[in-house]
Amino acid sequence: MTAASQLNDAQVDVLVHGDGSTQQALIDQVSKYAGISNIIVAKNDALKNSYGDSVAHTVAQLVQSKNYDKVITAASGFGKDFMPRVGGLLDVQPISDVIEIVDNGNAFKRPIYAGNAVATVESSDSVKLISVRPTNFQKAEPGEATQCPTEEVSVDVSKAQGSWVKDEPTVSESAELSSAKFVVSGGRGLKNGENFKLLYDFADALGAQNCAVGASRAAVDAGYVANDMQVGQTGKVVAPDLYVAVGISGAIQHLSGMKDSKVIVAVNKDPDAAIFKVANYGLVDDLFKVMPELTEKINQSK
- Output the pLDDT for position 145: 76
Same domain for 149 and 13?
A: yes
Euclidean distance between the first and the last CA atom of the chain, given in angstroms as a whole number: 37
Is residue 168 assigned to a domain?
Answer: no
- Output the pLDDT for position 57: 96
The Cα–Cα gap between 24 and 163 comes to 24
Is residue 166 assigned to a domain?
Answer: no
pLDDT in tens, 73-113: 999 889 999 999 999 999 999 999 999 999 888 899 999 88
Q: What residues make up the domain containing 243?
A: 177-301
Same domain for 121 and 205?
A: no
Q: What residues contact residue 284 under an 8 Å CB cut-off, 6+ apart? A: 268, 269, 270, 271
Among 122, 154, 186, residue at a domain's last position: 154
pLDDT in tens, 255-298: 989 988 999 999 999 999 999 999 999 999 999 999 999 999 99
Q: Which of helix, strand or coil describes residue 117?
A: strand
Same domain for 194 and 150?
A: no
Same domain for 116 and 55?
A: yes
Same domain for 109 and 220?
A: no
- Output the pLDDT for position 23: 82
Is residue 67 assigned to a domain?
Answer: yes
Q: Report the number of distinct structural domains present in the chain.
A: 2
Q: Residue 33: which CATH number?
A: 3.40.50.620
Whole-model pTM: value is 0.79
Among 154, 189, 207, residue at a domain's last position: 154
List the chain pLDDT tens, one digit each, 302 residues. Answer: 999 989 877 689 999 987 777 788 889 889 998 889 999 999 888 888 889 999 999 999 999 999 999 999 999 889 999 999 999 999 999 999 999 999 888 899 999 887 788 999 999 999 999 999 988 898 888 888 777 899 999 999 999 998 889 887 767 667 888 889 999 999 999 999 999 999 999 999 999 889 999 999 999 999 999 998 999 988 898 999 999 999 999 999 999 899 889 999 999 999 999 999 999 999 999 999 999 999 999 999 87
Is residue 163 assigned to a domain?
Answer: no
Same domain for 13 and 150?
A: yes
Same domain for 10 and 149?
A: yes
Q: Residue 296: which CATH number?
A: 3.40.50.1220
Same domain for 185 and 148?
A: no
Is residue 296 assigned to a domain?
Answer: yes
DSSP classification of residue 114: T
- Output the pLDDT for position 244: 97
Among 139, 154, 169, residue at a domain's last position: 154
Same domain for 249 and 136?
A: no
Same domain for 50 and 11?
A: yes
- Output the pLDDT for position 84: 96
Is residue 159 assigned to a domain?
Answer: no
Q: What residues contact residue 106 under an 8 Å CB cut-off, 6+ apart? A: 8, 122
93 to each of 5, 31, 65, how far by Cα in Å? 22, 31, 20
Same domain for 132 and 213?
A: no
Q: What residues contact residue 211 under an 8 Å CB cut-off, 6+ apart? A: 174, 175, 180, 181, 182, 183, 184, 202, 203, 204
Same domain for 34 and 139?
A: yes
The Cα–Cα gap between 24 and 126 comes to 33
Is residue 199 assigned to a domain?
Answer: yes
77: exposed, middle or buried (Cβ count in 10 Å: 0-12, 13-18, 19+): exposed
- Output the pLDDT for position 159: 92
Is residue 165 assigned to a domain?
Answer: no
The Cα–Cα gap between 232 and 221 comes to 13
